[in-house]
Amino acid sequence: MKENNKNLVIYGYLSAIAATLFWSGNFTVARGVIESIPPVSLAFWRWMTAVIILMPFALTKLFSDWNIIKSNIKYITITSILGISLFNTLIYIASHTTTAINLSLIAITFPVFIIVFSKYIFNEPITLNKWMGIILVAGGVITLITKADFSILKSISFSIGDLWMLLAAIIFAIYSILLKKKPVKLSTRSFQLSTFIIGLLFLLPFYIWESLNTNFQIQSVSNNTLLSILYLGLFASLFSYVLWGKAVATIGPTKSSIIYYTLPIFSGLLAYIMLGEKIEVIHIISMLLIMAGVLTAMSERKFSSN
């Protein structure tokens, strides 16, 4: 029994790592098409792609779980609006009115919200090792972003885009916590397909409004644009959300959120492999800090800060 539990925990960590890996490509890919596709349209076609790909594998299961879905429709609708309709759409909107450094700095607040919300919702203790881990990984991310020139932080100015990004971080924290409450009898495929469809339906009126507004027209559709949407729909949406849901179910939202801090590491490695960007000493130092923080936060020693 203990061996099975250990394997389940390892599976949970690997699922969180894989989801974060797929999400690390989200920002890179989206940044390449954000000028040609307006934010709501990008989100709409991303989730439309995910629905089309998932439907042949989940539609039968959706029908068999229909009574469970109906009895939990309020929960499913709330998670759909938060995780599907709002989260990524707000990131795409924020990217038009703020800088990449601001987005990155605000994004790392997400695990902090997870820990605080989990304390009040699930009564999870905020242990000393969790706070130490957060401090280490936050330091690593900030070092990576500023290239160790911390004076940059003094010159940062904030805009409406920063508020959108902060709202997105809070929304994803709440969404991740809600995943812990997913009905046990509802299969993963049914849950994902139902949330994807409902989230897409809530996006539809905003997509129509954006499409009719001359200030938000799709500028061009190239092969690169289509491949980017395919990646967002398949990897950054379908695979990552399924894996993230499994991670939260097995190791909990707090530990899953700490794994999310490895996103800059994966982003840097992808930039090195795909774009030929150099990996410098400062990158290695940042990665070591992030990994040390993750391992510290994952420690099971119970040094409660209460």
pTM greater than 0.85: no
Which of the residue ranges 180-194, 215-229, 242-256 would you say has the lowest mean pLDDT? 215-229
Can you tell me the distance from the alpha carbon of 14 to that of 212, in angstroms, rounded to the nearest whole number? Answer: 43
Q: What is the mean pLDDT of residues 191-199?
A: 96
* Residue type, position 132, single letter: M
Rounded to an integer, the average pLDDT of 176-198 is 93
* CB-CB neighbours of 74 under 10 Å: 8
Instruction: Give the pLDDT score at 304.
Output: 41
- Summarised one tens digit per residue, pLDDT across range 80-99 is 999 999 998 998 888 777 66
Decide if 53 contacts 234 (C-beta within 8 A). yes
Which pLDDT score is estimated for 306?
Answer: 41
Residue 221 has pLDDT above 60, yes or no: yes
Split at pLDDT 50, 70, 90, the class of 299 is: low
Question: Which pLDDT tens digit goes with each residue over 279-297?
Answer: 677 767 777 777 777 677 6
Residue with tokens 């076609």: 45
Lowest mean per-residue pLDDT among 57-66, 136-145, 202-211: 136-145
**Mean pLDDT, residues 173-186 taken together:** 90
Torsion 26-31-36-38 (CA) sign: positive
Structure tokens at 76: 């499913």
For the stretch 252-273, pLDDT in tens is 887 787 787 777 677 767 666 7
pLDDT beyond 80 at 184: yes
- What backbone phi and psi angles, to 5 degrees, belong to 302? -100, 80
Please provide residue 255's backbone torsions phi and psi, each rounded to the nearest 5 degrees. -70, -35
pLDDT at 305 over 60: no
pLDDT-derived band at 47, boundaries 50, 70, 90? very high
- The span from the CA of 171 to the CA of 61, in Å, is 28
